[in-house]
Amino acid sequence: MTVSYENSKSIYAGIRAAGVRSISALPETWLGLLLQRAEDDPEMSLIQVTKEEEAVGVAAGAYFAGTPHVLLMQNHGFLAAINGIVSLAQLYGVPLCMLVALRGHWGEPYPWHTRGGIVTEGVLRALGIPFEYARDPAVVGRHIHEALTFSQSSLSPVALLLTRDLMED
Amino acid sequence: MERARCLEMIHPELEEMLVVTIMGACAQELYDLGHRENFFYLQHAMGLASSIGLGLATHLPAERVLVLDGDGSVLMNLGTFATLARYRPANLIHVVFDNGSLLSTGGFDSHTATEVTDLAAVARGAGVDHVVSVANEMEFGEAFVDAVERDAMTVIVARVRATGPDHYGMDLALPENAFRFRRWIAERRARGPVTPRISLEK
């Protein structure tokens, strides 16, 4: 299994087409090609954090500045960011457009990813965070635009889960 | 040195800055000195004030951003110093009031209480170029003026006593604070390019 070059390209194109020029991220395997594109794009501002909760703060700063922003993280990073999501984004009405690599789910060969993968959807539901699964490269761009739009209109965190179907060849 | 006194010293100079505070005593003391629309109080999510400051500073390079942090909060997000050092926005001033105490959440000693942990050394080790430790009001005032005049990111670690206000409460709902803070920035940008108008007498 390798990370999909073509689909990473489609996702990045979707981020750009949604009008986003600002990304925060914590790198991980599935997001690697995306982040490479962001680094090589002179129009894109990329802030890499040490832990995903930091990115919630950075995203709030971008929102206050009036700049559309996308957060890239693994689902375990989402789990690590929950207090920031709840007690900054949800408490103050700050939109977050989170693109979350869904590791530890259908077809996962690595034991260490599995618990996080199994609980991710339940945690999203418990937190009242709207989410959608992105499986098809043909529509992932539209999904990203819709996630951004919904986060902004609802002043809420929104998660688009990047699945194995999409991220691996 | 009292944090409230430090805030009182700099409050007149904050009209043109985007100010982000941590929760509790620090937020209340600044609010009591006189709320302004360019103040954002992060009343929870401990550790993220400096991350918000980084987001503001990198997306609004023409603005000055001041983060008023504390030892208990910054200890929850020490990685922030490494991220700040990596991107080092020149328009960011990060003040950490170190009272050695989790004052607003019960007054328990923090890890800096015995002065074994040195937050200024942590910031330096993370790669922040300009880090100043201060222990009295005169040093704090000078460090703040230097930071404003310096065209580079500065971290100021200010050792203060573990004291706070005798009351808590603001006539400002939390989302209202966020909406008004964002509106202040948007309206200022709509008026045209921002020229920092900060001048302080030494």
CATH of the domain at B138: 3.40.50.970
Residue with tokens 């594109």: A37
Per-residue CA distances from A50 to A25, B84, B186 (Å): 9, 10, 29
Q: Is B21 helix (H, G, I), strand (E, B) or coil?
A: strand
Average pLDDT value for residue range B161-171: 95
What b/e readout covers B157-180, taking b as 16+ CB neighbours within 10 angstroms? bbbbebebbeeeeeeeebeebbeb
Q: Is residue B145 included in any domain, yes or no?
A: yes
CATH number at residue A29: 3.40.50.970
**Per-residue pLDDT at B107:** 87
Q: Is residue B202 included in any domain, yes or no?
A: no
Quick check: B64 pLDDT over 50?
Answer: yes
- Rounded to an integer, what distance in angstroms lies between the CA atom of residue B116 and that of residue B83? 23
- Give the number of domains in chain A: 1
Query: Which residue segment(s) compose the domain that A129 sits in?
Result: 5-167
**Per-residue pLDDT at B202:** 36
**Per-residue pLDDT at B104:** 81
- Rounded to an integer, what distance in angstroms lies between the CA atom of residue B91 and that of residue A161? 35
Q: Is residue B151 included in any domain, yes or no?
A: yes
Structure tokens at B202: 């030494």
pLDDT digits (tens, 9 = 90+) for A119-163: 999 999 999 999 999 999 999 999 999 999 999 999 999 999 999
Q: Work out the mean pLDDT of chain B and round it to a whole number.
A: 94
Q: Are B178 and A93 in contact (CB under 8 A)?
A: yes
- From B188, B149, B160, B43, select the one nearest B101 (Cα to Cα): B160
Nearest by CB to residue B59, choosing from A22, A53, A88, is A22
- Rounded to an integer, what distance in angstroms lies between the CA atom of residue A30 and that of residue A74? 8
**Per-residue pLDDT at B123:** 98
Band (B86; pLDDT cuts 50, 70, 90): very high
Q: Are A22 and A69 in contact (CB under 8 A)?
A: yes
Structure tokens at B13: 């100079």
Percent of chain B with pLDDT over 90: 89
Quick check: B70 pLDDT over 80?
Answer: yes
Quick check: B147 pLDDT over 70?
Answer: yes
Quick check: B31 pLDDT over 60?
Answer: yes
Percent of chain A with pLDDT over 90: 99
Nearest by CB to residue B48, choosing from A22, A45, A56, is A56
- Rounded to an integer, what distance in angstroms lies between the CA atom of residue B26 and that of residue B41? 9
**Per-residue pLDDT at B195:** 59
Query: Which residue segment(s) compose the domain that B123 sits in?
Result: 3-190
Task: Give me the long-range contacts of B187-194 (CB less than 8 A, separation at least 24).
Answer: B189/A66, B193/B62, B194/B60, B194/B62, B194/B63
- Give the number of domains in chain B: 1
* Residues of B engaging A, defined by a Cβ cutoff of 8 Å: 18, 40, 42-45, 47-60, 77, 79-80, 82-83, 86-87, 174-175, 177-179, 181-182, 185-186, 189
Residue type, A101: A
Residue type, A99: L
**Per-residue pLDDT at B201:** 41
ipTM of the shown complex: 0.97
Distance separating the N- and C-terminal Cα atoms of chain B: 19
Which of B48, B65, B191 best tests the A interface by mutation, with the highest count of A CBs <10 A? Answer: B48
Quick check: B37 pLDDT over 70?
Answer: yes
Distance separating the N- and C-terminal Cα atoms of chain A: 6
Lowest mean pLDDT among A30-34, A53-57, B195-199: B195-199
**Per-residue pLDDT at B105:** 82
Q: Is residue B114 included in any domain, yes or no?
A: yes
What distance in Å separates residue B35's CA from the closest CA in chain A?
18
- From A81, A66, A167, A72, select the one nearest A116 (Cα to Cα): A81
Q: Is residue B8 included in any domain, yes or no?
A: yes
Q: Do A61 and B50 touch (CB under 8 A)?
A: no
